[in-house]
Chains A and B, each alone.
Chain A
Amino acid sequence: SSELTQDPAVSVALGQTVRITCQGDSLRSYYASWYQQKPGQAPVLVIYGKNNRPSGIPDRFSGSSSGNTASLTITGAQAEDEADYYCNSRDSSGNHKVFGGGTKLTVL
């Protein structure tokens, strides 16, 4: 089992706002990074650090963190946002990387 916990599935109506969460003790000390993965494709970085978006990532994607929980928020979800989302940070030792189990986002 992963040291980062994500809800397996979340759904959102088109144009509405959705929050995907990631819980883990290491998140009290380290930021999470977030990845979007569509079927048959490699993961793509969407959020890193406190709340940074790589070039080319729409500004409807944002990140936040509080205590042991990191969140990825999509404001005004689009059909093309339907994908699996993974958080990443450290394990409890801080020495190794670990991914959350992933959240499948469905846009209704």
Chain B
Amino acid sequence: QVQLQESGPGLVKPSGTLSLTCVVSGGSISSSNWWSWVRQPPGKGLEWIGEIYHSGSTNYNPSLKSRVTISVDKSKNQLSLNLSSVTAADTAVYYCARWYWQIAATGTMEDWFDPWGQGTLVTVSS
């Protein structure tokens, strides 16, 4: 079964760049799925950051698009997140997740996030 594991610095200085990696194990990142980053500020809800397909195609949350880059390294079976010009508001637990979809018998698309990584806390502070 597919498992995801995030890693990266737990502390980033304001105005710096947050960089995280998510390693995919138990399956290929080149399978027909999109791979997403989701974050959760302390005590708050989930926010979708963006996603990437193994071809390199990306979609980003419009509210973060100017600062976000998501990339994929097929040779290492991993995806990465870069978030630039960070502030304290970017302090959060960052998750990677696989976005999976299928066409139901009704002809409607069903989609979901599963599995999720365990998440990694990134604090933005000087």
Contacts and interface: CB of A to CB of B under 8 A. Distances in A.
Contacts of A48: 110-112, 114
Using C-beta atoms within 8 Å of the partner chain, give the interface range for chain A: 20 to 34
Contacts of B104: 49-50
Contacts of B106: 50
* Most chain A CB atoms below 10 A, which of B36, B59, B110: B110
Given A43-B95, A99-B46, A49 B118 contact: no
B35 interface: no
A96 B48 contact: yes
Interface string B106-126: 101111111011110000000
Contacts of B48: 88, 96-99
Interface residues of B, number: 27
B95 A42 contact: yes
A43 B111 contact: no
B116 A43 contact: yes
Contacts, number: 68
B109 to A, nearest CB: 7
Interface of B: 36, 38, 45-48, 51, 59-62, 95, 99, 102, 104, 106, 108-114, 116-119
20 contacts: A31-B108, A35-B46, A37-B46, A42-B95, A42-B117, A42-B118, A42-B119, A49-B104, A49-B110, A49-B112, A50-B110, A95-B59, A96-B59, A96-B60, A96-B61, A96-B62, A97-B36, A97-B51, A99-B45, A99-B46
Given A31-B111, A42-B116, A48-B114, 17 more contacts: A30-B109, A35-B113, A42-B117, A43-B95, A44-B116, A45-B114, A48-B111, A49-B102, A86-B46, A88-B46, A96-B48, A96-B61, A96-B62, A97-B99, A99-B46, A99-B48, A102-B46
